[in-house]
A = this chain, B = another copy of it.
Amino acid sequence: KAHKIAVLPGDGIGPEITKVALELLQAAGEAEGETFQFEEALIGGAAIDATGQPFPDETLQTCRNSDSVLLAAIGGYKWDTLPAAQRPERGLLALRSSLNAFANLRPAVVLPQLAHASTLKPEVVEGVDILIVRELVGGIYFGTPRGFTTNDKGEKVGYNTMVYSESEVERIAHVAFDAAMKRKKRLCSVEKSNVLEVSQLWREVVTRVAKQYPEVELSHMYIDNAAMQMIRNPKEFDTIVTGNLFGDILSDEASMLTGSLGMLPSASISGAGPGVYEPVHGSAPDIAGKDLANPMAMVLSAAMMCRYGLALPQVAAKLEAAVTAALDAGYRTGDLMSPGMKQVGTRGLILLNGLI
């Protein structure tokens, strides 16, 4: 029986990296006797251009009818002048929210081949292996009330609500503790409870859930300190759990430890139904269509999909091994190029195919 994948290439470099990832996924599947059925759908700017909406109903249906969703990237200058409510990003938020993909897993792993690519000293980043578990469908991203109003001085006011309920924190905490159990059993919960009530609730609930995981060593850190420790001594982190906004900031910061956004996959999973697998990087409109984009994060996102979404760890391992083999063989896209390496384009990494 074929695994049904909703494929959302999106904008910018999205389509070209999707193509590479699908070819490799197909090849890795064949080698393991697995078949995939890909159904493409529109999201982001591409969807706005075709339908006027960043996340058309049809796309939602396609996603709901599939086992997993593989998304590339969305957005671009072209749509930046639209009113915020109609922009490509809204499509991404709607996708996450309508699939209830509440747990965003963002690994930041420094590969030995790339330790020198970071702007941090190699001895600081070597061996870094962090998993950030970000709550993805709550917090200030979705909290209400939100919007604009006029205050008593007659001025315009903009406002948003950062809000979490006990059950929202509980479910993400469980995902994080479970993940920590499979890792070094250290979990750091990041919030701002010295100032915010929403963070006090977060801390209270995470502390309560911790009782069910006596083997996991739980610590708490304020987001400002975490942003600092991430650079000062990233090796101190194993698993991190945090809210939507803090996770957005911290995971982008952590991505820089690895030297290139072009290497980082992510998984956004829900309790039931298909998860969303996507690279951490954006749509890079400036290099779109030029055969310059690094497709590795997309390939590794497909691997995460196989591992977490489809229970196909052998296929995942094949994809991961192909990426490692290409790096070992010295192949680099422009973002990772360094003296002595062999520069290839996006499609050039199709030669990974021979490595599967």
The residues of A with any CB-CB pair to B shorter than 8 Å are 84, 87, 89, 93, 119-121, 124, 140-141, 143, 146-148, 151, 153, 155-167, 192-202, 223-225, 227-228, 230-233, 245, 248-253, 255-256, 261
Contacts and interface: CB of A to CB of B under 8 A. Distances in A.
Nearest to A156: B166
A160 B196 contact: yes
A164 B158 contact: yes
Nearest to A260: B232
A145 to B, nearest CB: 8
A162 B160 contact: yes
How many monomers of this chain does the complex have? Answer: 2
Contacts of A227: 227, 249-250, 252-253
B160 A156 contact: no
Nearest to A231: B256
Contact of A224 (B87, B200, B252): B252
Q: Is chain A's interface secondary structure helix, strand, loop, or mixed overall?
A: helix
B245 A232 contact: no
Nearest to A119: B124
| Residue among A141, A143, A252 facing the most chain B CB atoms (10 A cut-off) | A252
B161 A166 contact: no
Contact of A231 (B140, B194, B253): B253
A261 to B, nearest CB: 8
Contacts of A167: 153, 155
A125 to B, nearest CB: 9
